[in-house]
Amino acid sequence: MATIYEVAALAGVSPATVSRVVNGQRVSEEKAALVRAAAAELNFTPNRTARTLRRQNSEVIALVLPDIENPYFTSMARGVEDVARAAGYSVVLCNTDEDPAKEAKYLDIAISENMAGVVLAPASDHTDLQHLVARGRPIVAVDRSTRFDIDGVMMNNRQGGLSAAQTLVDAGYRRIACITGPRDIETAAERSNGWREIVTRAGMFDRPDDYLRYSTFRVDGGRTAMQELLAMENPPDAVVAANNLMGVGALQVLTETGLTPPAFGVAVVGDLPFTTLPPASVSIVRLPARHMGVTAARMLLERIDGDTQPARTVVLRNEIIPATSVPAPTV
């Protein structure tokens, strides 16, 4: 196996220059091209173990997500992996199931295994990153913010809930409910706040929160909440589902009771992963999940490479795709 010294001799540069090229540090393009050509000719493969020892961390990134079965997070993970792999890093996927204890264990592993950095969608508002921050380990929060001064990539969640509710108002619905996630999850609170603003402005309810249901961000959560809303003395005629899987659960219940859109209005924050209904029958707030992963990975790699600028938060735009079915009857 060729050594770094043989590559340096063939390229006509110093071993230090070869080391800088191998480790992605700044070198003139001319010298970098010479090193790459020599390395290719000699079939040179960097010793990753030695590189890890010198850099005091591995070439591995931890991606900690709350629900990898949700296609939203799967798409986000693909964005992170594509960027990391192109930069020579591997990604270890950790699924927390929204469980703070599981999350804490995965974060401890990221420290003990000297992982280069962490991309994290926090399991709760109380996620503790103190140990990672104290060790100077780069962290980028995605989808949900933390109480720590770290980089983040977020959606405009309040705007998502607001847009979803507004499209139902515009379609003529008069009693618009909301199904959202757990109370201590930032995205759940912000999306329901957007819904609340719209129905309050429209004067729909004396007490809007009577038509708000907190549940899990999963299909069964959407089902349970929808069943509760339909059992009300004065049930809603439309609903905002604060994430895609809850939307699926709500639609399942509506279909079972014969209230498919547009007879009952539905707007969902996030693309529906599966449904038997025509896509145009449901309003969708489209979230750029893969772009979020790509952006987060790029920010993390900048920190790993030594970027020391103040923490940044990037807020991505969402897009509303209104239903194009026959408008709801006026009631």
Burial bucket for residue 193 (CB in 10 Å: 0-12, 13-18, 19+): middle
Give me the phi and psi of 154, to 5 degrees please: -125, 160
3-state SS, residue 7: helix
Q: Pairing state of beta strands 283-286 and 319-321?
A: antiparallel
E-assigned strand segments in the chain: 60-65, 90-95, 117-120, 139-142, 151-155, 176-180, 212-214, 238-241, 265-269, 283-286, 313-316, 319-321
CA distance 154 to 327: 33
What's the chain's length in residues?
A: 331
pTM here is 0.77
CA distances from 147 to 32, 118, 122, 125, 307 (A): 42, 16, 11, 8, 21
- Any idea which residue has 């969708």 for tokens? 284
Domains contained in the chain, CATH given: 4-46 (no CATH), 58-156+289-317 (3.40.50.2300), 157-287 (3.40.50.2300)
| CA-wise closest residue to 151 among 43, 298, 12, 319 | 298
* Cβ–Cβ < 8 Å for 58, 18: no
The pLDDT assigned to 50 comes to 47
* Cβ–Cβ < 8 Å for 83, 301: yes
The pLDDT assigned to 329 comes to 44
CA distance 141 to 80: 12
* Cβ–Cβ < 8 Å for 265, 277: no
Tokens of 128: 């503790």
CA distance 157 to 241: 13
Q: Pairing state of beta strands 265-269 and 283-286?
A: parallel
Convert the pLDDT of each residue in 176-216 to its tens digit.
Answer: 999 999 988 889 999 999 999 999 999 999 999 999 999 99
Cα dihedral angle (54, 312, 310, 78), rounded to 10 degrees?
Answer: 0
Alpha carbon 86 to its chain centroid, in Å, reads 20
Reading the chain (331 residues) residue by residue, the pLDDT tens digits are 677 778 889 999 887 788 777 766 677 888 888 988 988 888 877 655 444 434 455 789 999 999 999 999 999 999 999 999 988 899 999 999 999 999 999 999 999 888 999 999 998 888 899 989 888 889 999 999 998 999 999 999 999 999 999 999 999 999 999 999 998 888 999 999 999 999 999 999 999 999 999 999 999 999 999 999 999 999 999 999 999 999 999 999 999 999 989 999 999 999 888 765 666 789 999 999 999 999 999 999 999 888 889 999 999 998 999 987 544 444 4
3-state SS, residue 34: helix
Strand order in the sheet with 319-321: 212-214, 176-180, 238-241, 265-269, 283-286, 319-321
The pLDDT assigned to 8 comes to 86
CA distance 216 to 179: 9
Convert the pLDDT of each residue in 245-298 to its tens digit.
Answer: 999 999 999 999 999 899 999 999 998 887 656 667 899 999 999 999 999 999
* Cβ–Cβ < 8 Å for 213, 225: yes
